[in-house]
Structure 1
Amino acid sequence: MPTAIIADDERLMRDQLRMRLEQVWPELEILGEAKNGDEAIELVDQLKPDFTFLDIRMPGKTGMEAATVIGSKSNIVFVTAYDAYAVEAFERGAIDYVLKPSEPERLKITVDRLKERLNKPATPDVSASVTALLSQLTEKISAPKPSHLQWIQASIGQDLRMIPVEEILFFRSDEKYTCVQTERYEALIRKPVRDLAEELDPKLFWQIHRATLVNVNAIEGVTRDIRGRHLVMIKGRSDKLEVSRSFLHLFKQM
């Protein structure tokens, strides 16, 4: 029975990849999970899996850095969300990859490749190619990240979506979850509004309440209700979002 471990700092992403792998490769046994590169290296040494699914970006030791240590101990499969240059390199290289959130159709292609590789020992040429590819990608991955969030990972039922922040109309929190509202659907995340306010571009998202962030481009106008509360109207929707007094200054010129 083929074996694997999954390394990703996001628990939802680990759960989703495990579920998708069970669907497309039920014979694959997941031996363990890691939250960072250091844990992945330890698991590979302890469990000796055939395959290691490594998220490229993780706190501490990244997936790229972990891969250089793991070397030929396990077949590396990188998990990437939006590193287009990495995907292009993987298509040409000897390392496989999974786009996240993982979709069954694309994952099936990866699984078919991995099955072919199971009984093929790595040749010196392939090992050299992998080493060179890791070196190039590590250099690019080390480049500074964008200063503001570009994507939001949010759950919709059992699925996980990567939502570009430009598509989000507003965020609204309750005691446990934060609702992520787009034109087409509603999703949930656990990150509170106060954290999102620090990570999103303040020119694109205004905090109008301790529990609400709104996309400036989605604002149609501001109205008052019979109680005198100021409410933000959202383009094309019936939602009206309350504005706290401390944030009314944002709308003085509107």
Structure 2
Amino acid sequence: MKAIIVDDERLARKELASLLASHPEIEIVDEAANPDEAVEKIEKHDPDVVFLDIQMPGKTGFEMLEEMERVPQVIFTTAYDEFALKAFDYNALDYLLKPIQPERLTESLNKVTIKSAKSEGKDQKLSSKDQVFVKDGDKCWFVKLEEVRLFESDGNYIKVYFDKFKPMIHKSLNALDERLDDRHFFRASRKHIINLGWVESIDTWFNGGLLVQLKGGEKIEVSRRQSARFREMMSL
């Protein structure tokens, strides 16, 4: 598995690299001393896992992830246990407290899965198997897109529906629609993108439209203009 270490402290990078030397399945392909450098190297190498420091000068690890379209598997490293416990109440892959203990590192690596298919370029569509980082206030999630049943536009933000959560991200629905794989996600209307894997039932609606009910309980109207394409995709 390919790995990148991101930490502004050279000694911390060296110590982690030394610990990873005991895990021959991990190949450290690069290191980065700041978030901007890290983004470039992640795009270049497409690693299986990134060891990411949280507190760095100029930009936090969280802020770095929010800027990325495609989020790799991340194991956070931090010296601040209270901050870590607060931030990772929700679904992060893992976090390691510095100084990192060999046993905890092994536990974290056991959670990493090898990618089934490498990305072939920056313009590749985001599929249902891709993972995204969502941060809303102090709460953070790593979410596979297959778990997201609905994206809903709300002004300059998008509400992301998964599990029992509905956090907001600062992004336009049009920009998101261009990045999502249309084999799995469908632009139902000006305000909604639905995950086709979450469709539970479909009913006829006013003016030739359709009413789609998702497995999470949401009912979304498919506009008349989009209904014909939706019927074709769902083989209606």
Question: Normalising by structure 1, what TM-score?
Answer: 0.48
Give the equivalent residue in structure 2 for 1:148.
125
Work out whether residues 209 and 242 of structure 1, in 8 Å CA contact, stay in contact via their aligned partners in 2: yes
**Aligned to 1:208, which of 165, 188, 191?**
188
CA distance in 2 between partners of 1:143 and 1:206 (Å): 22
Structure 1 counterpart of 2:177: 197
- Counterpart contact for 1:221–1:234, Cα < 8 Å: yes
Q: Does 2:99 align with 1:112?
A: yes
Give the C-alpha shift of residue 98 in structure 1.
3.0
Opposite residue 208 of structure 1, the aligned amino acid is A
C-alpha distance in 1 between matches for 2:181 and 2:206 = 33
Which residue type is aligned with residue 112 of structure 1? P
Give unpaired runs (5+ residues) of structure 2: 1-6, 10-31, 45-51, 55-60, 66-70, 89-93, 102-117
Aligned residue in 2 for 1:71: none
The answer on 1:230 being equivalent to 2:210 is yes
How far off is 1:176 after superposition? 2.1
Query: Relative to 1, partners in 2 of residues 1:54 and 1:228: Cα closer, same or farther, differing over 3 Å?
Result: closer
- What's the CA shift string for 1:156-198, capped at 9, x where partnerless? 4411212100100010102121111013321211122211111
5 Å-filtered alignment, 1:1-254, equals: 52-54=33-35, 57-58=38-39, 61-62=40-41, 82-83=72-73, 98=77, 103-104=84-85, 107=95, 109=97, 111-113=98-100, 144=120, 147-149=124-126, 150-225=130-205, 229-237=209-217, 239-249=218-228, 250-252=230-232, 253-254=235-236
Q: What is the deviation of 1:228?
A: 6.5
Larger radius of gyration: 1
One-letter identity of the residue aligned with 1:82: P
Q: Is the 8 A contact 2:208 2:227 kept in 1?
A: no
The alignment of Structure 1 onto Structure 2 pairs a total of residues equal to 153
Contact 1:53-1:77 within 8 A present in 2 as well: no
* Contact 1:153–1:160 (Cα < 8 Å) also in 2: yes
Is the 8 Å Cα contact of residues 232 and 242 (structure 1) preserved in structure 2? Answer: yes
Q: Percent identity?
A: 20
* Partner Cα separation in structure 2 for residue 64 and residue 224 of structure 1: 44
| Shift of residue 148, structure 1, vs aligned partner | 2.5
The residue type paired with residue 209 of structure 1 is S
Q: Is the partner of 2:99 in helix, strand or coil? A: helix
Cα shift at 1:230? 2.4
Tell me which protein shows more helix as a share of its residues.
1
1:172 match: secondary structure:
strand
TM-score, normalised via structure 2 length? 0.51
Please give the alpha-carbon distance, in whole angstroms, between the structure 2 residues aligned to 1:173 and 1:216. 18
When structure 1 is superposed on structure 2, of 199-208 and 150-159 the one drifting more is 150-159
> Could you say what secondary structure the match of 1:112 adopts?
coil
In structure 1, the residue matched to 2:29 is none
For residues 160 and 185 of structure 2, what CA distance do their matches in structure 1 show?
Answer: 13
Partner of 2:28: none
